[in-house]
Amino acid sequence: MGSAEPIIEVKGLSTVYYSLRGLVRAVDNVSFSVIRGEVLGVVGESGSGKSTLSMSILRVLPLNARIVAGSIMYNGVDLVRLPEQEMKKIRWHKISLVPQAALNALNPTMKIKEHFIETARYHGVRDKGAVIKKASELLELLRLEPRRVLESYPHELSGGMKQRVLIALALLLDPEVLILDEPTTALDVLTQRAILDLLKDLRKKIDITMIFITHDIAVIADLADRVAVMYAGKIVEIGDVFTVFKNPYHPYTRALIKSIPSVIGSVEEMKPIPGSPPDLVNPPPGCRFHPRCGEKLPVCSEKEPPAVEVKPGHVVSCWLYAAR
């Protein structure tokens, strides 16, 4: 991992969706930093706000979504307040995204080489020869045979090959930060393992920072340096991966770990988290996890817990550790 210098600093970020039922508070007053050269894992249940967080950073939100508060500082520039024309210079050039359900993102009528050419052209790069040369280098780096893949249509490639193509597309303009949103979800276990090994190899070969978003704790434990645990639009715990998973402080983090089947433990040790995630149009008062928490205190349903640094670099938002 690189130095302790943050490349991205998010402070008080809130993103909402406008719906017929009211405002959906998908990301609510979230703060964290991404250290240059690290892999930051973001983990949580479906609907916790992970994908909205990634789209907020690049400002590629759906039309019914808005960032309503906070800042996203990238190398000292606030991306929230950056004019759209300037933001276009950031996307793909500086920060790139492999979105969720990315395997459906390739145009079935275009050869893979045309995807690279069109992506580069949209971002102002028109030298086709240079683009194909760069694409070939990236595909080779991701253990694909460039000549064959570039001349193929998407349907001629396996799921794992398409995922690697999308990672290569995201790296085409040499970004500093790569955001991967559930990149292994639709793949079989062996292909997932291959993609993770490739990403580890990629870190060694190029200087890149990653934000890896997933619901799979095992993936985060294997790949990430630090982990941010999200629940109902909030980051409830963040810290070094080994520390957080070895000694989790937040009841939700503990429950999430216990809900994962183990190859060495008994089935009886696996415990599902009771209840369901809250409605983000009308979230519960206080700590959003308190309706499902077996360790809740009276204050948990009354006031939102502050962020507490329980160990150096290990921050938890929970009344169990906060002064009341």
Report the mean per-residue pLDDT for the chain.
92
Q: Please state, in angstroms and rounded to a whole number, the distance separating the CA atoms of residues 68 and 65.
A: 9
Q: Average pLDDT, stretch 32-39?
A: 96
What percent of the chain has pLDDT above 90?
75
| Per-residue confidence (pLDDT) for residue 104, from 0 to 100 | 79
Within this chain, do residues 14 and 152 fall inside the same structural domain, yes or no?
Answer: no
Within this chain, do residues 158 and 187 fall inside the same structural domain, yes or no?
Answer: no
Where a domain ends, among 123, 149, 174? 174
Separation in Å, CA 15 to CA 92, 121, 269: 22, 31, 37
Q: How many domains, in total, are found in the chain? A: 2
Within this chain, do residues 113 and 58 fall inside the same structural domain, yes or no?
Answer: no
Q: What are 317's two structure tokens?
A: 């938002």
pTM for the full model? Answer: 0.92
- Window from 93-107, 110-124, 164-178, 263-277 with minimum mean pLDDT: 263-277
Separation in Å, CA 121 to CA 80, 260, 287, 306: 25, 44, 47, 46
Within this chain, do residues 16 and 30 fall inside the same structural domain, yes or no?
Answer: yes
